Amino acid sequence: MRAFADRGEAGRLLGDAVAERVDGEAAVVLAIPRGGVVVGAQVAARLGAPLDVAIPRKVGAPGNPELGLGAIAPGVRVLDERMIRDLRVSDDYLEREIAAQEAEIERRAAAYRGGRPPVEVQGRTVIVVDDGVATGGPVQAVPQLAREVDDLVVLATPQPFYAVGQWYDRFDQVRDDEVVALLSGSVG
């Protein structure tokens, strides 16, 4: 399988694929920062849809923040109750960690949007975009994601899978100021 040249190419290809299925005027693109915003900007441009961010955060385990106990986003908590129980994570720790991640979501949203309100999603087709899915590897993640959405567009499920970046020729870190610039030209 050929890698994408960069996130821009991936976004253009994804935009073409999504355009076949969605009325762009009734859509809004919510991209997951930071790399997903580069991809999402191309999708939004192709559809003529507004671009905004969806900012999830991992709920890290005590002593090992990379081990996810779950994830949160505004109005959403998805927690691995079995792992929380097996690791004997206290309710106090869990609530402190969730509060810290909620504060980080608020900080990032304010920084990325520059004071603009979130794009209205009520009554619109919401397209959530990222630059790749690493959790469990793409082949395992696709059926899980498909159960959670009305429609799922996936450009590739490469195997063997080690990291999202291995499938891009260029996978530079995306800076916060790049996200701000992309959103300031598109949010509305």
Half-sphere exposure of residue 125: CA atoms within 13 angstroms, side-chain side = 17
122 and 51 share one domain: yes
47 and 127 share one domain: yes
The token duo for 146 is: 């498909």
Which residue range is the domain that position 66 belongs to?
Answer: 57-111
**pLDDT digit string (tens) for 94-127?**
999 999 999 999 999 999 999 899 999 999 999 9
At 136, the pLDDT band (50, 70, 90 cuts) reads low
Q: How many domains does the chain divide into?
A: 2
48 and 128 share one domain: yes
Residue in 109, 121, 115, 130 with CA at minimum distance from that of residue 174: 130
Q: What is the mean pLDDT of residues 24-51?
A: 95
Query: Cis before residue 34, ω within 30 degrees of 0?
Result: yes
**pLDDT digit string (tens) for 84-101?**
999 999 999 999 999 999
Whole-model pTM: value is: 0.88
98 and 136 share one domain: no
Q: What is the mean pLDDT of residues 10-34?
A: 94
- 165: domain CATH number? 3.40.50.2020
pLDDT at 2: 65
Q: Are 69 and 89 in contact (CB under 8 A)?
A: yes
Q: What is the mean pLDDT of residues 147-176?
A: 89
Could you tell me if residue 79 is inside a domain? Answer: yes
